[in-house]
Amino acid sequence: MIKLAAFDVDGTLRDRDHLPASTRSAVKRLKESGVIPVLCTGRSEYEIASLREELGMDWAITCNGSHIGYQGKTMFGTPFGKEKVVAWLQEAERSNHALLLYGSEFMYTNRANDPLFLRAREEIGFLEPRLLDLSGGTEALPEFYQSIIFCEELQEGLYTGGNAEEFYIHRWRPWAVDLNPRGMNKAIGLKKLLEHLTIAPEEAAAFGDGLNDMELLAAVGTGIAMGNAIEELKGVARHVTRSLHEDGIAYAVDTWILPG
């Protein structure tokens, strides 16, 4: 019996601002059947708050597993060290790179209207970040759980120090990469939540479509890849449903989670 279903957001639950009516209905049926729906995304708590509220979800695993929130409030988190964040900001200033830094309540940037950020916002959508104020010094910085660095792959070493194993790295564009603290990914975040709720991995389902969903789908009893997912993800999934635009969430819920 499945007790919890975790959903990636972009390409799984929604496509930009398009959230299928069938998906809303499927999530409602899950809740009515006692299944806990959870958002599980690389985005920040701040960015997905309206979606979480629209779907009536309490839990969200964000920042690729580095932050877990209940009704928008931090329950568990693994932030970067503040000294590391300051070093990144200094490097970004030298190298003319833009950073996005994900806190628990807001997301921040070191430079306004960066061309690559604007390109990313056009392609996948972002809320407007706050311009980071460093006047209060290191201690005044909020906790940050994820950074997006707008740089080419050859420039990653400026931020990882050549020690890629010290981070969870998800490059989603040739010019943009997610960095999370070492050991973090969506599966680790979900594992922590399952332990908190005393739910076994075999009693959980997870939906995804991209590279940063690989560990997630492999970590649960019922991993479901969207029909529009990358082929690598379909290879680790227990099931492959229809695409987002073909009511894939509703089909999977009715076929493998709430059959009959």
Q: b vs e for 230-240, b when ≥16 Cβ sit within 10 Å of the residue's Cβ?
A: beebeeebebb
CA distance 50 to 101: 19
From 8, 10, 213, 247, the catalytic residue: 8
Cα separations in angstroms, 185 against 18, 29, 173, 215:
26, 28, 18, 7
Burial group, residue 25, by CB count within 10 angstroms (0-12, 13-18, 19+): middle
Alpha helices in the chain (DSSP H): 21-32, 45-54, 82-95, 115-124, 157-160, 186-197, 214-218, 231-236, 248-252
- 133 catalytic? Reply is no
Helix (H) or strand (E) holding 181: strand 176-181
Q: Can you read off the two tokens belonging to residue 98? A: 């833009």
The residue with tokens 């980071």 is 132
DSSP string, 56-118: T--EEEEGGGTEEEETTEEEEE-PPPHHHHHHHHHHHHHHT--EEEE-SS-EEESSTT-HHHH
Residue 10 near residue 24, CB atoms below 8 Å: no
Quickly count: other Cβ atoms within 10 Å of residue 96's Cβ: 9
The residues carrying an active-site annotation are 8
